[in-house]
Amino acid sequence: MEHFVRPLAENARILVEWEGRPLERYAVMLQVHIEGTWQTIHLLDNAHGQHDVHRYTGSEKQPAERFADGSARKVIPQAIAYLISNWESIARSWQP
């Protein structure tokens, strides 16, 4: 799986992973650095055939909610923009 990292702050980043040519699967993760490891606290993906968002309680992924419609190539930039705009409020509301 290919990936890239978009830093947000010293202790926060967006990790984007994808596979397939043409693009088939992706995951866009908001991660915070806690006790020496990166912890995913918000996930946008298409693992189940639609574009979903998952919130986390601690390290437990919550049920999927619909995020968007369209192709993966169109939704990935939307997911990244969403996390860039909202990461601070998401991080504040996350319960470790």
- 7 in a domain, yes or no? yes
- 92 in a domain, yes or no? no
Q: Return the number of other C-beta atoms located less than 10 Å from residue 79's C-beta.
A: 26
Cβ contacts of 2 within 8 Å, gap of 6 or more: 17, 18, 19
- 63 in a domain, yes or no? yes
In this predicted structure, what is the pLDDT of residue 95? 80
Number of domains present in the structure of the chain: 1
What domain range includes position 44?
A: 2-86
In this predicted structure, what is the pLDDT of residue 22? 87
- 91 in a domain, yes or no? no
10-residue mean pLDDT profile of the chain (96 residues): values are 96 96 94 96 95 94 95 96 98 89
- 94 in a domain, yes or no? no
Please tell me the pTM assigned to this model.
0.95
In this predicted structure, what is the pLDDT of residue 7? 98
- 78 in a domain, yes or no? yes
Element containing residue 88 per DSSP (H, E):
helix 72-93
- 16 in a domain, yes or no? yes
